[in-house]
Amino acid sequence: MTRPRGSAAPPPAAAAFVAPAAAAAARGRLAPPRPSAAVAAGRPAVGAPPVGRVGGGGGWPPLPGWGGCRPPAARVPLRRRGGRVATGVRVARPVGRVVTAASAAAAPSNGNVRPAVANGVAAAGGGGSATPPAPPPPTNPFLRLARFSNRSERLLMVPALLAAVAASAVALCQPLMFGRILGTLLTATTTTVSPAAARRSFAAAIATVAAVYAAEVTATAVWVRLATRATERVVSRLRTAVYGSVVGRGAPFFDAHPPAAVLGVLTSDLDAVQRGFWDNLPRDRGVRAALEAVGALAVVTSMSPRLALVFLAIVPAAATRCARLGMAMGAAAAAEAAAGAAATASATAALRHIKTVVAFASAPVEAGRYGAAAAARSAAADAAGGLKAVLETTNRGAIYAILLAILGVGGAGVLAGSIPLTLLYSCIGYSWSLNFAVQGLNYGVADAGRAAAALGRVWALADASAADAAAAADREVVVPPPPPAGGRRGEVRLRGVHFRYTTRPDAHVLRGVDLTLTPGTTTALVGASGVGKSTTLELICRLYTPDAGSITLDGVDVGTIDRTWWASQVAVVTQEPVIWEGTILENLTYAAPPSLLNTPPPPPPPTTPGIVAAAKAASAHDFITALPRGYDTPLTPDATTLSGGQKQRLSLARALARRPSVLLLDEPSAALDAASEAAVSAALASSAATRSTLVIAHRLATVVAADTIAVMDGGRVVEAGSYGALMGVPGGAFRRLVETQSGAFVDADARAAADAGAAGGGGGG
């Protein structure tokens, strides 16, 4: 059964990072992990130890050469000493410490609790010691990739390179073998050697060549198999780590790095890196070509210095010219790849929203947009093709120039009696080996240029992710204690919250929002479009961080709370329901309460009362059980077999299954008919006693049922109170909203009733 994305189990790469370091710690290479003084003094009760979430991510060690970037997913207790985590990898900066709310309250704070650090040394009592900065990553992208490999891959490359050397050495014997065969045939045809002796000599020469061939084939097989295994492991780990590092970043990161661009790095760029390695494994490319070029020059020099001068007079100039062309080809190929990515993004967006494209008859517009991107790609490909033509011409010209020079100089030596004919024949064979090797090296330079450009984009994304993680890591990490006996968790306070999106710094979205969500009550957030309602919800979700002001949960600044713990307390239902690929059950258990221990809880079975109760509360159980496979019904991300209302109810059930302390609803009933909305509203009302609920509403029925109505205008809350109290204020903001914007309330209810009648009591679509 396929686990939905983002489930509690860590990705396989987590073990690859953690296990070797844990083994090193067991061998005594690391000091025993020591909890900080704050943790020792105030560890939370109820059997849930604090969890390290460095940089908003998980407990993975830093990625080699990433400046401390950690791919988030695996949750392991943070145990460090002197800036060294328990997994045995030195971090690049002082990392966030897990403390309790009690210990955090004892320290002075200006709204964001941060450790006192000067020159990489934590202040006394901070639970840390001197943390020498990690060395900066290499500027060469391939050296960074080499540092990313682990010991097993490096050990694999040792016999692989030995096999490559052996294969090249054996291959360099072939021209000599051919020269000897020619000598044997010449001797048999020009002397009085007996036919039997000639046949024996010829058979021995053929057997030697066959043995050489077999040895080269065997060594080549070993070289290619081990090299592909090592490079595939490195690239696969890099791919997993890049995804793991960016998937846990906040919304501002993806504002600056669109998901389509990130996906391009994960697919096209890393595929180009892999191809760059694999395409240079044959004999005439990469390592083999370099070995045979050097070996051929050495053999020819030992056989005939005069003929070696012919090689040295032509090869360096031709190789330099071809190398420059290869680098230019790499740059042109990178431009072609970028243009191709733009074309793919254009087509992907249009096909993802194909119904809208058809409804608006905008197919010609989309075709034109894709055509422009394809034309840019074609122009880049044409430039690369022109460079390839020049490169091919230079390569072939150099090959023929060397052959002509060898034939001229060597033939003159044969006629003069200073060079044996068999030696000339062998040198011609070495000239072919050298020419093909140099040609392959030139192509390898082009491949390296393409791979370097792709790796540059990979490391740029990794560095951006590391910077984002470092900005989030430089603070305390708090796990609030459980509420007192009889108390309830979930009081959220926003005080003087200001916010601007980094992509729109001139737009002041929130201008001092003051709002309180009280446990056991429902607060409706209303207002015209664009006044900051959804932004307020996103800030409470911690998708963004306020520019000024504070957001607290039960008196604790949410910016200092461990993200995993915070996610266990907050559930959100967006206006557009999200459906993962998997069964209905897997979708409902996607948001099951995460464990704060090392081992995540197993997915609950279909009969788990909590899951069924959540589905019933969301008015989803009946239509789920009416499906042929019930909770095991497979869904696709589009979920075309479900109506809009059914998808919305699944999304609501998933949120309720989390049993959150804070429930955030962004127009949850937008796709529900009147009957389903009434059932969902009743369920929410009955369960509201255990949580704080914030709902962004445009329907009058939802607003009337709320305990508190907060009216937003101009980026701030201008009015708050019950429905009756606000309607009783002459000229009040809420009363004007109801009277002048009936489309947002009364008409919405009328449309819902009309939709219900048209659907005939159907699936809530």
What are the pLDDT digits (tens) for 96-111?
Answer: 444 444 444 444 333 3
Residues 6+ apart with CB under 8 A from 275: 447, 451
* 482 in any annotated domain: no
Give the position of tokens 């066959």.
210
Please say which residue of 83, 106, 139 terminates a domain: 139
Total Cβ atoms within 10 A of residue 31: 12
Domain identity same for 88 and 160: no
* 476 in any annotated domain: no
As a whole number of Å, the end-to-end CA separation of the chain is 28
* 517 in any annotated domain: yes
- Alpha carbons within 13 angstroms on the beta-carbon side of residue 675 total 13
pLDDT average, residue stretch 555-563:
85
* Domain total of the chain: 3
> What letter does residue 561 receive in the DSSP assignment?
B
Domain identity same for 352 and 498: no
Domain identity same for 174 and 318: yes
| Cβ proximity of 134 and 62 under 8 Å | yes
Domain identity same for 133 and 150: no
| Cβ proximity of 429 and 174 under 8 Å | yes
Between 722 and 78, residue with greater pLDDT = 722
Tell me, what amino acid is at 486?
G
pLDDT at 587: 85
pLDDT average, residue stretch 736-752:
58
Give the rounded distance of the alpha carbon of 204 from its chain centre. Answer: 58
Query: Which sign, positive or negative, has the C-alpha torsion 321, 323, 327, 332?
Result: positive
R_g over Cα of the chain: 35
d(CA 34, CA 78): 10
Domain identity same for 460 and 515: no
What percent of the chain is predicted at pLDDT more than 70? 72
Please say which residue of 84, 113, 139 terminates a domain: 139
524 beta partners: 695, 709
Domain identity same for 178 and 301: yes
Domain containing 73 equals: 1-139
d(CA 648, CA 543): 21
DSSP three-state, residue 71: coil
Domain identity same for 85 and 166: no
CATH of the domain at 503: 3.40.50.300
- The CA–CA distances, whole Å, from 258 to 243, 261, 463, 596, 633 equal 14, 5, 16, 31, 32
> What letter does residue 267 receive in the DSSP assignment?
I
| Cβ proximity of 88 and 107 under 8 Å | no
pLDDT bracket for residue 671 (50, 70, 90): low
pLDDT average, residue stretch 400-420:
83
Instruction: Tokens for 70, please give them.
Output: 């950690």
| Predicted confidence (pLDDT) at residue 641 exceeds the cutoff of 90 | no
* 486 in any annotated domain: no
Phi-psi group of 280: left, alpha or beta (phi > 0 → left; psi -120 to 50 → alpha; rest → beta) = alpha
CATH of the domain at 322: 1.20.1560.10
d(CA 523, CA 516): 9
Total Cβ atoms within 10 A of residue 345: 18
* 487 in any annotated domain: no
Query: Which sign, positive or negative, has the C-alpha torsion 102, 105, 107, 113?
Result: positive
Domain identity same for 552 and 667: yes
Backbone angles phi, psi at 506, to 5 degrees: -80, -15
* 365 in any annotated domain: yes
Domain identity same for 55 and 108: yes
d(CA 549, CA 557): 10
> What letter does residue 90 receive in the DSSP assignment?
B
d(CA 702, CA 526): 11
Please say which residue of 124, 139, 154 terminates a domain: 139
Minimum mean pLDDT among 198-207, 299-308, 352-361, 675-684: which range? 675-684
Query: pTM here?
Result: 0.58
Domain identity same for 455 and 500: no
* 485 in any annotated domain: no
d(CA 62, CA 132): 15
Residues 6+ apart with CB under 8 A from 76: 18, 51, 52, 58, 59, 86, 87, 598
* 484 in any annotated domain: no
Minimum mean pLDDT among 511-515, 547-551, 566-570: which range? 566-570
Domain identity same for 601 and 631: yes
Express each pLDDT in 273-310 by its tens digit.
888 888 888 877 888 888 888 888 888 888 888 888 88
pLDDT bracket for residue 516 (50, 70, 90): very high
DSSP H helices, 57-150, are 101-106, 141-148
pLDDT average, residue stretch 422-444:
80
Domain identity same for 573 and 448: no
| Predicted confidence (pLDDT) at residue 680 exceeds the cutoff of 80 | no
d(CA 308, CA 304): 6
